[in-house]
Amino acid sequence: MTTTSLLLSSKKTHCPTKRKGYSVYRYVVLIVLLLQSIFLKLNAQTTFIVDYVPPETNVKDTLYLSGSFNNWNPADKNYIFQLQENGNYVLANKQFHNSSWISYKITRGNWETVEVQKNGQPLNVRKHSFTSSKPETVTLQVAGWADQLKKEKTNKIVLQVVDLPNNTPPNTSLFVCGNFNGWVPGDERYKLQDIGNGIHQISIPVYGNRIEYKYTRGNWLTVEGNSYGRPRPNRVLDVNILSTKTLIKDSIAFWEDQSYGIFNPYTLVLVLTALQGFFLIFIINSNQNNNKWANQALSILIFVISFTLIARVVIYDRVIYTNYPKLSLLTDLVFFLYAPTLLIYIKRLLHHAKKSIWQYWPHFLPFLLQCIVYVTFFFKPTHTFIEQNLFQSMDSPPYAVYEVIVVLALAFNIWYWFKINGIVNRYFKNIEHNYSTDQNLKYLNTILIILGICLLLWTVIITVDVYATFTEQPANFLINFLIDGIWIVFSVVVFFLGYFAIKQPQIFRMPEPEEEIEEPKIEKPVLETEELAQLKTNLHQIMTQEQVYLNPQLSLPELAEKMNTNVHTLSRAINAGFNKNFRDFVNQYRIQDFINRAQDEKYKNQTFLAIALAVGFNSKSSFNRSFKKVTDKSPREYFNQLNQD
């Protein structure tokens, strides 16, 4: 399966080329290297010992170490084993700078004499991770040499590259690597020949029933890829349905190192979103008289989004990911952190809850458990970590854990989405009982729609992944496309909040009432007749004499405080005494004041909207809606009929 995470599935990253923004990339790399120097010292001296070679090995033969550290040179004089008196071959005290792991093989000077399995089959490249600053010793055994073991007759398949990317460097050498040569990217045995007309050709042996391969220009930094420098899945041939004389024609669309690299249209969107997020945190907390409690949770929410976006961009580079793949774990932390933080923000914004974030700790238990599990992943050898992510199998316990985490995270976020959606819907359903005007919070519905789209895409990814697993139909391209889509949609949340921070800054500095607003209870005691009559009289006086309705932000708790009563008693008085909710009750005084002013010569030069705002309405739509509700006519219709009469 490949759903491992919405992030790990497309973690295979890319090598940048020098272009605009490359200096930023260099700073990112410097930061990563600094972190490496703090947490890991990877330049430990390593000694390789070969304590067994096949009996037919000539003592005059020289053994070499060839790998990713020397561009797969099979006869590098800097990596020669020395034959000891006890028969062991030793390569002592080698340092591999700026690398957290290496891949390698042992040769006797060329690829024709490379080590193989005992049966003569290709041996996959060996790998070793550096996890300690102390000197290390790696002991190896060579089962056989490619030129000395009796080779069984194998079938051949001819590969032709008929089309190359336009930016392919001139006079470049093309190689093919795969499971037929142990995935050595610069194996001279599998260097394609130029046969003219821009066509390159090679014959490869057939081992087993399945051939997997890729084309390179000599190393993994120059491997073929997809658009924007994205990795492409392995090419696969099913030998059972091929004829031994079949000619396979391939086209190479892109080279990873010749594409956009770390800075492409996709990652630039994520970078810009993250930068706006950090700027937005500063803006919403620098407002005077801001909604402190809600904005604290919102700041954490935006920081979580921005941080994970930056982390994803960093691991998008092949060099960084190859050496520091465990940075990819940082992007997964959003799984169980985002939804609880959003819930806290919604509660603080809508209900003015002032509980400390730490009092919501049960909501973050899944996040803490995830961190504990990921700590165990962090201490895995680097090459093992990469293999478990790139060659995912449900037979691998770590990958099975990944899958469980992903599915649980999806269920977790869906549950919170419905919970938050219910809170928002109940708020808007009862808002007229608490506020006299609209609160400009409709953007919450849009945010929930955006997050709902993310959850839908996430569900589709898991569904496609399960289907691909049981049908053995590759779906890498579709899954990676959907993953990128999720991140783009997810980033829209920050842009959306930034838009409202500029257009409607009052959202982030809403006044907080002294008493927490609660929804009306279903069962309430009936007020005594005298108490109800007195409250009705007091209400009418405060509305006509003090004209408190002129305050656009007038709320039920604020009015209750002015009348020295509580929210529940006042709400029951308005409902029972005037048969109206709080908003309709206040707006009837505003509409009457509007009508009086509109007929007053003193206001004849003012527009209807100006007068409406003066009497306490906060928007044209709110005024028109309330006017029609009170008079059953629009303002224009009402005054036209009044003039006719």
For the segment 588-615, what is each residue's pLDDT rounded down to a tens digit?
999 999 999 988 888 888 899 899 889 9
CA distance 612 to 627: 10
- pLDDT for 78: 93
Per-residue burial over 292-305, b = 16 or more CB atoms within 10 Å of its CB, e = otherwise: ebbbbbbbbbbbbb
CA distance 68 to 102: 6
- Is 64 a residue whose pLDDT tops 90? yes
- pLDDT for 12: 38
Least confident window among 31-45, 200-214, 245-259: 31-45
Could you tell me the two tokens for 623?
A: 């005024």
Q: Which amino acid is at 305?
A: I
Per-residue pLDDT, averaged over 83-101, amounts to 86
Collect all residues with Cβ–Cβ distance below 8 Å to 360 and sequence separation of at least 6. Answer: 340, 343, 344
- pLDDT for 86: 92
Query: Which run of H or of E encompasses 464?
Result: helix 443-471
- Is 305 a residue whose pLDDT tops 70? yes
Find which of 288-302, 471-485, 617-631 is predicted with most confidence, using mean pLDDT: 617-631
- Is 4 a residue whose pLDDT tops 60? no
Per-position DSSP letters for 4-65, written without gaps between them:
S-TTGGG---B---SSTTHHHHHHHHHHHHHHHHHH------EEEEEEE--TT--TT---EE
- pLDDT for 388: 67
Quick: pLDDT tens for 564-576: 888 888 888 888 8
Q: Which amino acid is at 399?
A: Y
pTM for this one? 0.69
- Are the beta carbons of 193 and 200 closer than 8 angstroms? yes
- pLDDT for 501: 63
Collect all residues with Cβ–Cβ distance below 8 Å to 207 and sequence separation of at least 6. Answer: 121, 122, 154, 179, 180
Residue 394 binned pLDDT confidence (cut-offs 50, 70, 90): very low
- pLDDT for 23: 46
- Are the beta carbons of 162 and 251 closer than 8 angstroms? yes
Residues in the chain: 645
Per-residue burial over 33-42, b = 16 or more CB atoms within 10 Å of its CB, e = otherwise: eeeeeeebeb
- pLDDT for 189: 92
- pLDDT for 151: 63
* Integer-rounded Cα radius of gyration of the chain: 35
3-state secondary structure of 103: strand
- Are the beta carbons of 435 and 32 closer than 8 angstroms? no
CA distance 465 to 459: 10
3-state secondary structure of 131: coil
CA distance 133 to 40: 7
Nearest Cα to 481, choosing from 500, 461, 499, 498? 461
Average pLDDT for the chain: 80
- pLDDT for 61: 93
- Is 521 a residue whose pLDDT tops 70? no
Between residues 426 and 501, the one the model is more confident about: 426
Between residues 417 and 475, the one the model is more confident about: 417
CA distance 585 to 372: 55
CA distance 306 to 313: 11
Quick: pLDDT tens for 476-503: 677 778 888 888 888 888 877 777 666 6
Per-residue pLDDT, averaged over 328-346, amounts to 89
3-state secondary structure of 200: strand
First to last CA, the chain: 77
Three-state SS letters, 213-273: EEEECCCHHHCEECHHHCECCCEEEEHHHCCCCCEEEEECCEEHHHCCCCCCHHHHHHHHH
Give burial (CB, 10 Å; 0-12/13-18/19+) of 513: middle
- pLDDT for 520: 45
Between residues 487 and 355, the one the model is more confident about: 487
Least confident window among 167-176, 294-303, 385-394: 385-394
Per-residue pLDDT, averaged over 291-302, amounts to 83
Per-residue pLDDT, averaged over 324-343, amounts to 88
Helix axes 529-544, 582-598, angle to 10 degrees: 40
Between residues 242 and 541, the one the model is more confident about: 541
Q: Tokens 């940048």 label which residue?
A: 16
Could you tell me the two tokens for 337?
A: 């952190």
DSSP-derived secondary structure letter, 91: E
Per-residue pLDDT, averaged over 536-554, amounts to 87
CA distance 325 to 97: 17
- Is 470 a residue whose pLDDT tops 50? yes
Between residues 76 and 16, the one the model is more confident about: 76
- pLDDT for 519: 45
Query: Domains plus CATH for the chain?
Result: 46-145 (2.60.40.10), 153-258 (2.60.40.10), 265-509 (1.20.1070.10), 529-644 (1.10.10.60)
- Is 217 a residue whose pLDDT tops 90? yes
CA distance 289 to 509: 6
Nearest Cα to 222, choosing from 188, 272, 172, 269? 172
Could you tell me the two tokens for 156?
A: 């051949």
Nearest Cα to 612, choosing from 622, 601, 599, 602? 622
- Are the beta carbons of 615 and 607 closer than 8 angstroms? no
Per-residue burial over 352-368, b = 16 or more CB atoms within 10 Å of its CB, e = otherwise: bbeeebeebeebbebbe
- Are the beta carbons of 171 and 207 closer than 8 angstroms? no
Quick: pLDDT tens for 152-193: 667 888 999 999 998 898 889 999 999 899 899 989 999 999
Could you tell me the two tokens for 61?
A: 């033969």
CA distance 330 to 374: 9
Between residues 83 and 645, the one the model is more confident about: 83
Query: Which run of H or of E encompasses 294?
Result: helix 292-314
Per-residue pLDDT, averaged over 123-152, amounts to 85
- pLDDT for 2: 37
- Is 548 a residue whose pLDDT tops 70? yes
Least confident window among 252-256, 504-508, 560-564, 625-629: 504-508
